């Protein structure tokens, strides 16, 4: 099994194997509201596919527009998600903490990073590459399915929120 | 294997087993840009878990606020997605055609329907219930994974779009 390359996050400090952070990872991957959650042994297997990194306050964790095929799971700390709006400059899209996923959109669709992510306090993250997600799905289908369902639920939550917030920008009022 | 209950869509005409619409379903479930697409045999298996329905022009396919644990795959026709904005009334969120998924958010998170969907031309849809998605994942993990990855990619595309469109509504400009 290939571990994630340590060169992916030049602004961060490589903390090594995610197995050393089992407790933190277990704490943030809580039960899923609709589907079956993760058992401790499954989290342990998941950790075999991830490495952990530390970001200092102010460190850029992801840069809008960069290529990237990995996601981050925030374990500790806090991160601002900032996107450049051509009309009005930098916008704070959200501020997230432990349990948040970052960068999963580029992992899933292969397009450049949608927003920049800046650590606003000392922040530890677990990194999962696309190839490792595919490896989990192939080697441990039950765990892979749960990861995919977890991502589906978090994207759904974000999509409900973003779509609600974009409603005022829609010009077309129906009769 | 339990087939979807025919009572779920009172405004629609039940067309029976999705296997009778294999060609249409194959046509709309194209290859996935990043991950492996569906083989013909996999689409055929998928059809065993779905039923098809027809909506006349003007029929309400989904109603905002309703409970619902199934998604629709649009095979033919066109559907307007309309959401009630408390401040400005009904807003047209999007208009979609063959290949679009509708209702997948409630399937995934169990919350009420986010928007209403009205057929704007004669529209055929394939219906997949949550229990049947779970059945596919359990009985055919390879196919289940592909369905989940397809849903992840479509949610990602929508989330990029909705978040970009909501940017002007964000008040916080960073320095």
Which residue of B92, B145, B165 is in closest CB contact with A172? B92
In a domain, A141, yes or no: yes
Beta-bridged to residue A7, according to DSSP, are none
In a domain, B86, yes or no: yes
CB contact under 8 A, B167 and A130: no
In a domain, A56, yes or no: yes
Query: Which residue in B has a C-alpha nearest to residue A154's C-alpha?
Result: B109
In a domain, A132, yes or no: yes
The two three-digit tokens of residue A66, written as one number: 């960069």
Element (H, E) at B132: helix B130-139
pLDDT at A3: 54
Q: How far is A74 from chain B (nearest CA, A)?
A: 19
Which residues of chain A neighbour B153 with C-beta distances below 8 Å?
108-109
- Domain count of the fold of chain A: 1
| CA B159/CA A166 separation, integer angstroms | 11
pLDDT at A87: 84
Of all residues in chain A, what percent are helix, strand and coil, respectively (each to 5)?
35, 30, 35
Q: Say if residues A156 and A78 touch (Cβ distance below 8 Å).
A: no
In a domain, A175, yes or no: no
Beta-bridged to residue A125, according to DSSP, are A53, A74
| CA B146/CA B42 separation, integer angstroms | 10
- Residue B133: how many CA atoms within 13 Å on its side-chain side? 24
Q: Which of B93, B106, B97 is nearest to B79 (CA)?
A: B97
Which residues of chain A neighbour B111 with C-beta distances below 8 Å?
160
In a domain, A129, yes or no: yes
CB contact under 8 A, A163 and B114: yes
Determine contact: A154 vs chain B, CB below 8 A. no
CB contact under 8 A, B174 and A108: no
If you search the block for the tokens 């595309």, which residue do you land on?
B157
Query: Which residue in A has a C-alpha nearest to residue B33's C-alpha?
Result: A109
Which residues of chain B neighbour A105 with C-beta distances below 8 Å?
156, 159-160
CATH code of the domain in which B113 resides: 2.60.120.10
In a domain, B104, yes or no: yes
The two three-digit tokens of residue B68, written as one number: 């619902």
Q: Say if residues B100 and B119 touch (Cβ distance below 8 Å).
A: no
- Residue B44: how many CA atoms within 13 Å on its side-chain side? 3
CB contact under 8 A, A163 and B83: yes
In a domain, B1, yes or no: no
Determine contact: B108 vs chain A, CB below 8 A. yes
Q: Say if residues A70 and A107 touch (Cβ distance below 8 Å).
A: yes
pLDDT at A173: 59
Q: How far is B170 from chain A (nearest CA, A)?
A: 7
pLDDT band at B172 (very low <50, low <70, confident <90, very high): low
CB contact under 8 A, B152 and A152: yes
Determine contact: A83 vs chain B, CB below 8 A. yes
pLDDT at B29: 86
Q: Encode pLDDT of B98-133 as tens digits.
A: 999 999 999 999 999 999 999 999 999 999 999 999
Q: Encode pLDDT of B4-59 as tens digits.
A: 455 568 888 999 999 988 888 888 887 777 888 898 899 999 999 999 999 999 99
Which range marks the domain in which residue B30 is found? 13-161
pLDDT tens-place values along chain A, 175 residues long: 555 454 568 888 999 999 988 888 888 887 777 888 898 899 999 999 999 999 999 999 999 999 999 999 999 999 999 999 988 889 999 999 999 999 999 999 999 999 999 999 999 999 999 999 999 999 999 999 999 999 999 999 999 999 999 998 887 656 4
Q: How far is B119 from chain A (nearest CA, A)?
A: 15
- The ipTM assigned to this model is 0.91
Q: Say if residues B134 and B34 touch (Cβ distance below 8 Å).
A: no
| CA B116/CA B103 separation, integer angstroms | 9
Determine contact: B31 vs chain A, CB below 8 A. no
Q: How far is B160 from chain A (nearest CA, A)?
A: 7
Q: Which of B61, B55, B56, B53 is nearest to B116 (CA)?
A: B61
pLDDT band at B157 (very low <50, low <70, confident <90, very high): very high
Determine contact: A84 vs chain B, CB below 8 A. no
Which residues of chain B neighbour A88 with C-beta distances below 8 Å?
167-168, 173
Which residues of chain B neighbour A35 with C-beta distances below 8 Å?
134
pLDDT at B3: 53
Total CB pairs under 8 A between chain A and B: 150
| CA B49/CA B51 separation, integer angstroms | 7
């Amino acid at each position: 099994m290939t571990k994630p390359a340590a060169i992916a996050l030049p602004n961060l400090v490589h903390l090594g194997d995610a197995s050393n952070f089992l407790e933190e990872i277990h704490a943030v991957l809580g039960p899923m509201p609709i589907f079956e959650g993760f058992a401790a042994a499954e989290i342990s297997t998941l950790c075999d596919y991830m490495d952990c990194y530390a970001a200092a306050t102010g460190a850029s964790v992801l840069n809008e527009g960069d290529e990237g095929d990995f996601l981050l799971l925030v374990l500790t700390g806090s991160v601002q998600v900032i996107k450049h709006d051509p009309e009005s400059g930098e916008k704070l899209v959200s501020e997230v903490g432990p349990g948040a996923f970052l960068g999963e959109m580029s992992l899933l669709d292969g397009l450049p990073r949608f927003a920049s992510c800046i650590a606003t306090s000392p922040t530890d993250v677990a990194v999962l590459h696309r190839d490792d997600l595919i490896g989990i799905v192939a080697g441990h289908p039950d765990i892979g399915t749960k990861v995919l369902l977890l991502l589906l639920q978090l994207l759904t939550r974000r999509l409900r929120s973003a779509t609600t917030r974009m409603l005022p920008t829609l010009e077309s009022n129906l009769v």
